[in-house]
Amino acid sequence: MSANSIPVIAIDGPSASGKGTVSQLVAEKLGFHYLDSGALYRIVALAAKQQGIAWSDADALENMATTLEIEFKAGEIYLNNKIVSEAVRSEEMSRGASEVAIHTPVRNALFDLQQSFRKAPGLVADGRDMGSVVFKDAVLKIFLTAQVEIRAERRYKQPISKNMSADYAKILQDLQERDSRDSQRRASPLIQTPDAILLDTSHRSITDAVEFVLNAYQNILKI
């Protein structure tokens, strides 16, 4: 099977829309591989911080990005043989990822790595430009979103449910800033391509959203 004939389901959308959870569950159901492309930008932001490279320094970031050893193994993310799964999910790295992602050289440096995830029997890839740039020939493209206030509320409830404090107004402001940086940047902005199906999860459960994607995929297989 040539790489181009391996089916890709591209799921793009803004931060905290639930696309990571939905994508993983769809991949599990279909027995497909899964690419969390946002994790790669998060890793670049983390490695830059560790090496004292500014998130604004496109050339230094590009050089560094090509030397990183990145692995996804047994649910953990490894950077240069160390587990960084927790570290990359911090609010600081969420912001850092969104900042390093504006640079075309950084995006180019991660392009081949992302394509290497396309393996039989198929791939579910989640991010901002999976359907528009990295896997333009994806058999199914979903634009998964939700109202920003609802996304902020979901984020807010995560620490609160663990008896930790959280600031709703700050979370909302961070999401709005990230949304506008991700969709207004010149390099591969977050957009809904004309061939992508809109899935608004504002009033849908995760289970419902997973069903929606699986049904859309089954319908394509019938064509």
Among 98, 145, 192, 201, binds ligand DC (CB under 6 A): 98
Q: Would you give the DSSP letter of residue 16?
A: T
Nearer to ligand DC (CB atom), residue 62 or residue 129: 129
Q: Is 192 in the site for ligand DC (CB under 6 A)?
A: no
Q: Which two tokens stand for residue 116?
A: 């290497």
Of these, 182, 196, 210, 217, which contacts ligand DC (CB under 6 A)? Answer: 182
79, 163 in Cβ contact below 8 A? Answer: no
Phi, psi of 201 (to 5 degrees): -95, 15
Residues 6+ apart with CB under 8 A from 216: 140, 142, 197
In the set 128, 141, 151, 155, which binds ligand DC (CB under 6 A)? 128
- DSSP-derived secondary structure letter, 59: H
Which residue's CB is nearer to ligand DC, number 159 or number 219? 159
Among 15, 23, 145, 192, binds ligand DC (CB under 6 A): 15
Distance, C-alpha 75 to centroid of its chain: 15
145 lies in the binding site for ligand DC (CB under 6 A): no
Which residues sit at the interface with ligand DC, rule CB under 6 A? 15, 37-38, 41-42, 94, 97-98, 101, 127-129, 178, 182
